[in-house]
Structure 1
Amino acid sequence: MILRKLLSGILGLAGILGVNAFEYAPSNVSASIALKVPGNMAVHYPLILNKLSNGNFDYQLVSNHKLPVLLYQNITGEGQTKQISLWMVALEDVYFNFGEQVKSDARHDDCLFYMPGFWYRRNLRSPKEAPSFHTSDSWLVREDRLSTPMTTIFDEKNKKSISVTRIAEFEDEALTTHKEGEVILSGKTSIGYTGFENVSGTATLSFGYPYKEAPKSYIRKLTLAPSVEAYQFLKKGETLTLTWEIHETTADDFSDCVKQAWEYSYDLYKPTPVETPYTDEIIKEVLSNFFVESYVDDTPTKYYSGVELRTATCENLDVAEVGFVGRTLLNAFNALEYGEGKQRADLVKNANSIFDSYLQHGFSEAGFFNEVVHYKRNFVEKNHSIRRQSEGVYAVLYYLNYEKQHGRKHPEWEKRLKTMLDAFLKLQNPDGSFPRKFKDDFSLVDKSGGSTPSATLPLVMGYKYFKDKRYLEAAKRSVGYLEKELISKADYFSSTLDANCEDKEASLYASTAAYYLALATKGQERAHYAELAKKAAYFALSWYYTWDVPFAKGQMLGDIGLKTRGWGNVSVENNHIDVFIFDFADVLHWLSKEFNEPRFTAFSEVISSSMRQLLPHEGHLCGIAKKGFYPEVVQHTNWDYGKNGKGYYNDIFAPGWVVASLWELLSPGRAENFLK
């Protein structure tokens, strides 16, 4: 026993020493500066770190060549966290790009990598046309791609992590005339770069200023482009100070690494709510105009036109979509509930007509929703998705529960939903997963289980509404699959239907699914599902911005003052921010109380406040043609969905799901009230 305790103490001490083993020294740090004379290719100069024995700085960075800049560095802090502060003064007018590399003590092949909202593990769920290990094992990216300008290396073998995070005011951005090669900035930028590189087999943190991207830049969906290296102008006599923070810790696994990294970045940046004049009531009043102007009633199924609209006109189109980006049925429920509360007969009439028409004309022969219908083209999507089907059932269950509370019964709808939920039981695989896409005859189109958590919600609700334990058991099996294949492996993928990659919605849906089951169970089961919800929540949170990305003058989002903190990046493939939240805010508030974690509630308030900013109304249309048609594809970095780029929206958008998401954010407690 004594020997065991002694060995345990030695191992524990080794772990502590391992965490604090990093020392900033020339043996594991390298730096370089690239200088560019306009009209000429840049020249790259390796820098030598000369230790200074006295004075104001720890190191002077010098080259074998005479440079037109002086470079000094200080290293402060002790133990797990150290700050690197670089001081640069120009002896002549100069265009520069500075970079630094810090080697970890881990083999690159033993490591997983994390860049919040962009890179998870090795991005192997993403195709080779997007940033991933399929293309390279070393990546540098501009900081505004990331929800926190941080890179973390997790040594999976030795359970250690090391990260670098930029500390700055982030106030400036500059336009450029080119997006690849060597680019001279038109003004001052605050955006640098961060990333990881394989340096002779050692996992290495790389960071610098201004930005560069290598080996490829990522300019639009599934489009890698040549690398870019930006050059900042520094006038003779001017000085510049840059600061990064290196942080080390131990972590049990990649999930623990992400959890600790999010807590650390939240504490470092301390994001606060964004002040806006929009109360919940004001927002709902403005958004309700979407229910009025998008309503289409000259088709067999009435619907809200919320898909494939043009931002310039917001004119209604022929596309009716049940879930995903259309969310017609959830919008109909929201319009009904709001319309009755506000005595808006027009909203009530239209919402009821949508439910009535879908009951009559909205189903396939096998009893699934016709998910997407293009009326003018006479096209009905034959491939079903578990996500859209689930979102449709979810909306109708809220509708039926509301109607029942008001003394109105809909036995035909109940019969339809029972048929659909029974079909879900048939679709469910032995491992608890659901196929992503399938046909009316139950044959599979996409067997991937990434969308499984979307089915959990209506199954739990169906159990409560119909008092059928089969649905609860199916929900438990689905979360059993999530626990085994997604949550325990920290591998959240392919929940969204327009990408095959690591994405926010997979972790958000997984956390929400476990939350629903926690609400529907008791005792140890409830505690277990609560733990799963919390574990997945950190991954969902990691996609949300803790900082405000700077925009250049002339980029609309900057000109109207958008603060990006609280907005969520979408996926590796789709590198823009949006307001996807739905009832995840409720999950965060609940988890905050369950686990006494004030960060969850505090950051939920940041999300809620920030997502109000682009509310389009008279005098504040934010680049949208109609009041209440809230924007969707908000392009915050050097990436576009096809049009316009940073600081603007794509020209095509889907306000249907956006309105539904914001409405749920502003309707707290729905799940708890339904399931209590």
Structure 2
Amino acid sequence: MSIKTKHQQTDDGYKINIYPDDLEGAGSSLQLNSLLETTSLKENEKVPVSLVEGEEDGFTLKGESEHFKAETQVYYKNRSCDYLDVKLKIQYIGSETLDTGLQIKYELLGAGKPTWLIPGAFYKENRFSHNTRMYPRYDYSGGDIDRLESDYWAFRSDRASLPAVFAWNNDFSAALFTEEMSELGLSGLGFRGNEEETSLWINYPYREEPITFHSPVDPHPADCPAHTWEKGEEVTLSYKIYLGNNDLHSYDPFVREIYAQHQEKYPTNPWVDLEKAAELTAHGLYEWHYDDEHHILMETAAFDREFNGNVGGQGDRPNMHVGWVSGAPYSYALLTYGRNQQNTNYTKAAVHVLDKIAEGLSPIGIFWAEWKADKGWGTGWNPNNKWLQARTVSEASLFMIRALHFEKEHGQTHDNWENAVRSNLDFAVKCQREDGNFGSYYHSETGEVEEWDGAGGILWISALLEGAKYFDSRVYRDAAVKAGHYYQSFILDEFIYGAPEDVHLTPTSEDAYNAVVSYVLLYESDFDNKWLELARRAAEWMMTFRWSYNLEFPEHTMLKQLDFRSRGADQASPSNQHLHNYGLFCVPEMLRLWKYTEDSYFLDRTRDNLACFLQCIAREDGDFNAYKGMVTERYYNTNCFQPKGMLLTLSHAWSVGVILYATQEAAEFAEELNL
């Protein structure tokens, strides 16, 4: 899409309009009314555009206010997509020091209420009004700030996997991008949409308002730092402008372009290779998470074993979910590694855990979600303690089927696993609605679907397809295909939500992983290109959660001292902001998607994901204060839950297990991955 510009002179200076070439004369554009404005003064000032000078490959804008002189150089760029590259040179011309931040703001002109995207941090309205979990929500009418609702939001750039703010109206879309760090420190992104205006902006330094999202239960006041300007001080700020059509997927060309630039700028830094990572995490999963007394994979293990002993073992959580944060996926990974490496301890442990899960059928015929040492089997972390969630149960079913396939190839049979899996798959078929929806939450005593909303049931597609092959069942396959037609609406709407038990009906990176796995498997079931296109689109949405750059961590923090590179990590979700490694869950499907599409972007970004989490696997006892084979769940990227640069000093079964799983699956592609 070609970008055009025009300028018009007013009493307050020039207005610059930027628009797609196919909208010339339509009145829809991105409009710049001033070169910059201050943000911290009692009466903020704007630097008007007083001069426009055209050049062959762009144009220059100049202006001056009481305290600032500014020159903006705009260059047309045509790489993988068209965009504008902007350099803003600022000189402070005041006679005394001045404390203020600066904002570069554009208005989005055109019909329709706006839609938003800040990759990894904000998706559309971001939260339904009836969501049980509180985190920032956009409300065109203003909303209730006590419920974290507002018609405007501003955030630190380090909350974003790619520091850009996108906006859509009925006619087109636009985005502003800047790097995380600038000459004025950490940058920020923001937007506003109401009856009066639709606008998007960049703040230097950042501003977080109307509140700071520190956690769902602990929002902090607005955080609006300023820069102290000295007489004669000069700085240069850089940003980019992108325009797309009104398709909600139009972010993808610009995300790809910025990623391509970041590939050259921000290197990865894996600590170990795939083989060593598998060896370490197999050890860690068995040594620190396997409980031979109860035959579970304990969900957490404290880094500091002495402290853990002093507090009665409270750092070790003697519970096991059957999927998601523990259970079948990671038992499967330990099983395959144990058999392939002829390690009988690992193999026996994995079989014991899968036996335990197979025994844990609820009265309605599906797995209980969680086993606790003090309570036994139960429903997990759902909004209602009588509910079981589709994603947890379907994921457990999927990996138990994979374990059955694997064991069959090695001459082993497990009737109890087969019976348990059949019971789960039969329930899914029975509860499926005519339109293909499996529902998201089930009553654990009656089997009634208690919550139809969300894509929590999307992973039943994968379980049913693999179950159809194992049990030679046309019924299972037909149910999966019907579901594929239903759940495509979430992908096409660019808003897949409902995967994790503990973040009710929230868009998350985990929803993207589940969609990728399910639609790749659908494509492999009949090679209908419709499924491949949906898998591709889901994967591209997934990349909005994946870091394209390396964060600048504070100097004395753990992650800075470890030289942790964030490129390739994923944001967990807008409501649960930290970096996690769960994207490794879909490594095999992503690599096959690369093969099917011949799109190297998918290979590159999957390589990044692996490379990122070949860091911070404890290589020996004492490595980053952990024990050999331990892996944290959380790397803190911003001011959310914990200070930026910290890591959670708990090893999690899933964080260890998903590396063990992905490194084994990636071995087939070791040459192409070159890790």
Place the TM-score, normalised by the shorter chain, in its bin.
Answer: 0.7 to 0.9
Find the aligned partners of 2:39 and 2:463 in 1 and give their Cα distance.
Answer: 56
- AA matched with 1:335: L
What's the TM-score once normalised by structure 1's chain length?
0.84
Find the aligned partners of 2:462 and 2:651 in 1 and give their Cα distance.
Answer: 23
- AA matched with 1:519: E
Matched residue, 2:154: 140
Matched residue, 2:175: 163
> Which of 648, 663, 668 is the matching residue for 1:666?
663
**SS in structure 1 of the partner of residue 584 of structure 2:** coil
Matched residue, 1:601: 603
Matched residue, 1:101: 105
Deviation at 1:248, TM superposition (A): 1.5
- AA matched with 1:17: E
Matched residue, 2:347: 348
Query: Does the aligned pair in 2 maintain the 1:142–1:194 contact within 8 Å?
Result: yes
- In structure 2, the CA distance between the partners of 1:53 and 1:444, relative to structure 1 (3 Å rule), is closer
Deviations 1:516-549 (A, max 9, x none): 1111213xxx211111111111111111011112
**SS in structure 1 of the partner of residue 496 of structure 2:** coil
Worse-superposed segment, 469-478 or 408-417: 408-417
Matched residue, 2:432: 428
Matched residue, 1:277: 271
Query: Does the aligned pair in 1 maintain the 2:558–2:645 contact within 8 Å?
Result: yes
- In structure 2, the CA distance between the partners of 1:88 and 1:339, relative to structure 1 (3 Å rule), is same
Deviation at 1:586, TM superposition (A): 2.7
Find the aligned partners of 2:541 and 2:25 in 1 and give their Cα distance.
Answer: 26
Q: How does 1:219-618 map to 2 (within 5 A)?
A: 219-251=214-246, 253-255=247-249, 257-270=250-263, 274-290=268-284, 291-299=286-294, 302-307=295-300, 309-313=301-305, 316-326=316-326, 328-359=327-358, 361-377=359-375, 380-381=378-379, 383-438=387-442, 439-483=444-488, 485-500=489-504, 501-522=506-527, 526-618=528-620
**SS in structure 1 of the partner of residue 224 of structure 2:** strand
Find the aligned partners of 1:213 and 1:600 in 2 and give their Cα distance.
Answer: 33
Matched residue, 2:47: 47
- In structure 2, the CA distance between the partners of 1:113 and 1:419, relative to structure 1 (3 Å rule), is same
- In structure 2, the CA distance between the partners of 1:116 and 1:358, relative to structure 1 (3 Å rule), is closer
Measured on the aligned residues, the alpha-carbon RMSD in Å equals: 3.0
Deviations 1:415-471 (A, max 9, x none): 222122111111222221122221142023333232121111110110010000111
- In structure 2, the CA distance between the partners of 1:23 and 1:331, relative to structure 1 (3 Å rule), is closer
Matched residue, 2:635: 634
> Which of 30, 33, 37 is the matching residue for 1:32?
37
Matched residue, 2:124: 121
Find the aligned partners of 1:366 and 1:499 in 2 and give their Cα distance.
Answer: 24
Deviations 1:565-601 (A, max 9, x none): 1111111211111111234233333233323322111
Find the aligned partners of 1:87 and 1:254 in 2 and give their Cα distance.
Answer: 33
Deviations 1:157-179 (A, max 9, x none): 22x111111147x3x8xxxxxxx
- In structure 2, the CA distance between the partners of 1:369 and 1:167, relative to structure 1 (3 Å rule), is closer
- In structure 2, the CA distance between the partners of 1:167 and 1:423, relative to structure 1 (3 Å rule), is closer
Query: Does the aligned pair in 1 maintain the 2:151–2:194 contact within 8 Å?
Result: no
Find the aligned partners of 2:627 and 2:99 in 1 and give their Cα distance.
Answer: 44
Worse-superposed segment, 52-61 or 399-408: 52-61
Matched residue, 1:15: 22
Find the aligned partners of 1:498 and 1:589 in 2 and give their Cα distance.
Answer: 29
- AA matched with 1:73: T
Find the aligned partners of 1:388 and 1:133 in 2 and give their Cα distance.
Answer: 29
Find the aligned partners of 2:608 and 2:480 in 1 and give their Cα distance.
Answer: 31
Query: Does the aligned pair in 2 maintain the 1:367–1:420 contact within 8 Å?
Result: yes
**SS in structure 2 of the partner of residue 77 of structure 1:** strand
Identity of aligned residues (%): 19
- In structure 2, the CA distance between the partners of 1:13 and 1:648, relative to structure 1 (3 Å rule), is closer
Find the aligned partners of 2:552 and 2:26 in 1 and give their Cα distance.
Answer: 34
5+ residue gaps, structure 2, are 1-18, 140-148, 309-314, 380-385, 670-675
Deviation at 1:618, TM superposition (A): 2.4
Find the aligned partners of 2:652 and 2:107 in 1 and give their Cα distance.
Answer: 45
**SS in structure 2 of the partner of residue 247 of structure 1:** strand
- In structure 2, the CA distance between the partners of 1:421 and 1:18, relative to structure 1 (3 Å rule), is farther
Find the aligned partners of 1:561 and 1:365 in 2 and give their Cα distance.
Answer: 50
Deviation at 1:53, TM superposition (A): 6.2
Deviation at 1:410, TM superposition (A): 1.9
Deviation at 1:18, TM superposition (A): 6.7
- AA matched with 2:199: T
Query: Does the aligned pair in 2 maintain the 1:387–1:451 contact within 8 Å?
Result: yes
Deviation at 1:350, TM superposition (A): 1.8
Find the aligned partners of 2:666 and 2:480 in 1 and give their Cα distance.
Answer: 21
What's the TM-score once normalised by structure 2's chain length?
0.84
Find the aligned partners of 1:90 and 1:239 in 2 and give their Cα distance.
Answer: 6
Matched residue, 2:146: none
Matched residue, 1:3: none
Deviations 1:486-507 (A, max 9, x none): 1232221111111132211222
Task: Give yes or no for the alignment of 1:130 onto 2:135.
Answer: yes
> Which of 204, 211, 228 is the matching residue for 1:216?
211
- AA matched with 2:206: Y
Deviations 1:345-370 (A, max 9, x none): 221222222233444x4223443223
**SS in structure 1 of the partner of residue 524 of structure 2:** helix
Find the aligned partners of 1:611 and 1:219 in 2 and give their Cα distance.
Answer: 25
Query: Does the aligned pair in 2 maintain the 1:368–1:440 contact within 8 Å?
Result: no
Query: Does the aligned pair in 2 maintain the 1:435–1:452 contact within 8 Å?
Result: yes
Q: State the number of aligned residues.
A: 615
- In structure 2, the CA distance between the partners of 1:378 and 1:410, relative to structure 1 (3 Å rule), is closer
Find the aligned partners of 1:149 and 1:486 in 2 and give their Cα distance.
Answer: 24
Worse-superposed segment, 309-318 or 97-106: 309-318
- AA matched with 1:50: S
Deviation at 1:665, TM superposition (A): 1.9
Query: Does the aligned pair in 2 maintain the 1:294–1:305 contact within 8 Å?
Result: yes
Find the aligned partners of 2:606 and 2:592 in 1 and give their Cα distance.
Answer: 11
Worse-superposed segment, 588-597 or 137-146: 588-597
5+ residue gaps, structure 1, are 1-11, 37-41, 173-187
Find the aligned partners of 1:502 and 1:366 in 2 and give their Cα distance.
Answer: 28
Deviations 1:374-419 (A, max 9, x none): 2224563353221121121112112111111111222232222212
Query: Does the aligned pair in 2 maintain the 1:29–1:103 contact within 8 Å?
Result: no
- In structure 2, the CA distance between the partners of 1:54 and 1:149, relative to structure 1 (3 Å rule), is closer
